[in-house]
Amino acid sequence: MKTMIGLINLEHEYDFLNELTYFRCGAATPFAGRYRLIDFTLSNMTKSYMNEIAIFAKHKYRSLIDHLGSGADWDLNKRHGGLFILPPQWHDPHDVSKGDLRHFRNNWDFFERCKSEYVLISGSQFISNMHYNHLFEQHLGSGADVTILTSQYDLKPEHTSCLKVEADDQGNVTAFTNDTKNNHVYTGVYLLRKSLLYSLMEECIANNKSNFFLDGIQNNLDRLKIQVYNYQGYSMIVNSIDSYYRQNLSLLDSDNYQQLFPNGERVYTKIGNQPPTKYNSSAKIAKSLIATGGIINGEVENSILFRGVKVGKGAKIKNSIILQHCKIEDGAHIENVILDKDVTVTEDQLLKGAKEQPFIIAKRSTV
């Protein structure tokens, strides 16, 4: 039976969420009330029977390690295979590799030890709840060298920086472009054989390149057979504060929520054993998503509150995202705001951003 190795490559995901990535990498950023961004890719991989999954961690990965632990919550704490977090620790003075090629070169023993012949590579910014098996079946049946995962969107600002794809009637990629009017978007997910990965990696390093996908695959379009797998299910790209804020709040629409979390299709995350949120008699809630462990005395409208948030009497929260263990004291008013973890908003404080540019408070602040 042919199987896949999963690789989540975070090398090229810089601090794309401003204040929210001051202290953590983007993949570890909380999302949708109880998850982290990486949970979606990791869950998709485990649901696709990948038992060998590695993460190329670049920097600020302490929060990521704390969240993932041994991988038990994703059923990845296995005697053979499982989850491998591979930080940038290499000491070969003769190594000339750069960028993500350095991760591949210095961790190649991981790939050699894996029994699977194929490698599925993804970042953490493509959010979906899917199985990769259909992509794998298409790849095996088509005889392609590389199969890339694409989706078609009503174009929004987050798609501007994504590569766009042009393909012929047989699904063969004919061009990668930056055409801002093309809605056929490359999601950052692709699949290839391990032996081809190795040969392209060596070729890129020999030619002083630094980006495996751009230098090894995109620039070899003329000699590689690259196929498209166009995903038609619900998905989104989160690669900026604007998209993070807008896509989070879009899940308050029940249709969107049901599409991302359909019955029977779980997204796995670190389990937190907390009591249900307590709603006191003064609490008023409208169109909001509120996780466990909180205490609500004030008003919450069109907002997402993560675990353990406390809202005082007379406080009002509107169009906002409040991460774990924040405390909103009596009489405070928050609108169009993102609060990172452990923020305290003091009594009668007013914080108001714009829908187009939410006001962000960094982790552990008191305002």
Residue 61, amino acid: Y
**pLDDT (0 to 100) of residue 220:** 97
**pLDDT (0 to 100) of residue 254:** 96
239 beta partners: none
Q: Are 19 and 243 in contact (CB under 8 A)?
A: no
**pLDDT (0 to 100) of residue 58:** 85
Q: How far is it, in rounded angstroms, from Cα 72 to Cα 68?
A: 8
Which residue's structure tokens are 């969420």? 17
Is the model's pLDDT at 89 over the cut of 90? no
* C-alpha to C-alpha distances, 195 to 120, 136, 347, nearest whole angstrom: 13, 16, 61
Average pLDDT over residues 136-150: 97
**pLDDT (0 to 100) of residue 61:** 94
**pLDDT (0 to 100) of residue 358:** 96
The confidence band for 92, taking pLDDT boundaries of 50, 70 and 90, is: confident
Is the model's pLDDT at 272 over the cut of 90? no
The confidence band for 323, taking pLDDT boundaries of 50, 70 and 90, is: very high
Q: How far is it, in rounded angstroms, from Cα 356 to Cα 44?
A: 31
Q: Which two tokens stand for residue 335?
A: 């609108």
3-state SS track over the chain: CCCEEEEEECCCCCCCCHHHHCCCCHHHCEECCCEEHHHHHHHHHHHCCCCEEEEECCCCCHHHHHHHCCCHHHCCCCCCCEEEEECCCCCCCCCCCCHHHHHHHHCHHHHHHCCCCEEEEECCCEEECCCCHHHHHHHHHHCCCEEEEEEECCCCHHHCCCCEEEECCCCEEEEEECCCCCCEEEEEEEEEEHHHHHHHHHHHHHCCCCCHHHHHHHHHCCCCCEEEEEECCCEEECCCHHHHHHHHHHCCCHHHHHHHCCCCCCCCCCCCCCCCCEECCCCEEECCEECCCCEECCEEECCEECCCCEECCCCEEECCEECCCCEECCCCEEECEEECCCCEECCCCEEECECCECEEECCCCEC
Cβ within 8 Å of residue 109, ≥6 positions away: none
**pLDDT (0 to 100) of residue 80:** 84
Residue 108, amino acid: W
Average pLDDT over residues 165-176: 97
Least Cα distance to 193 among 130, 122, 140, 126 occurs for 140
**pLDDT (0 to 100) of residue 173:** 98
**pLDDT (0 to 100) of residue 157:** 95
Average pLDDT over residues 46-51: 95
Its pTM stands at 0.95
Q: How far is it, in rounded angstroms, from Cα 169 to Cα 187?
A: 20
**pLDDT (0 to 100) of residue 338:** 98
Least Cα distance to 141 among 36, 262, 229 occurs for 229
Q: How far is it, in rounded angstroms, from Cα 287 to Cα 276?
A: 18
What confidence tens digit (pLDDT) does each residue in 238-254 have? 999 999 999 999 999 99
The confidence band for 78, taking pLDDT boundaries of 50, 70 and 90, is: confident
**pLDDT (0 to 100) of residue 273:** 85
Greatest mean pLDDT among 79-83, 87-91, 302-306 lies in 302-306
Cβ within 8 Å of residue 254, ≥6 positions away: none
The confidence band for 203, taking pLDDT boundaries of 50, 70 and 90, is: very high
Q: How far is it, in rounded angstroms, from Cα 321 to Cα 313?
A: 19
Q: How far is it, in rounded angstroms, from Cα 62 to Cα 363?
A: 15
**pLDDT (0 to 100) of residue 1:** 85
Is the model's pLDDT at 90 over the cut of 80? no
Q: How far is it, in rounded angstroms, from Cα 110 to Cα 107?
A: 6
For 170, other C-beta atoms within 10 Å of its C-beta total 8
**pLDDT (0 to 100) of residue 216:** 97
% pLDDT > 90, the chain: 92
Q: What is the mean pLDDT of the chain?
A: 95
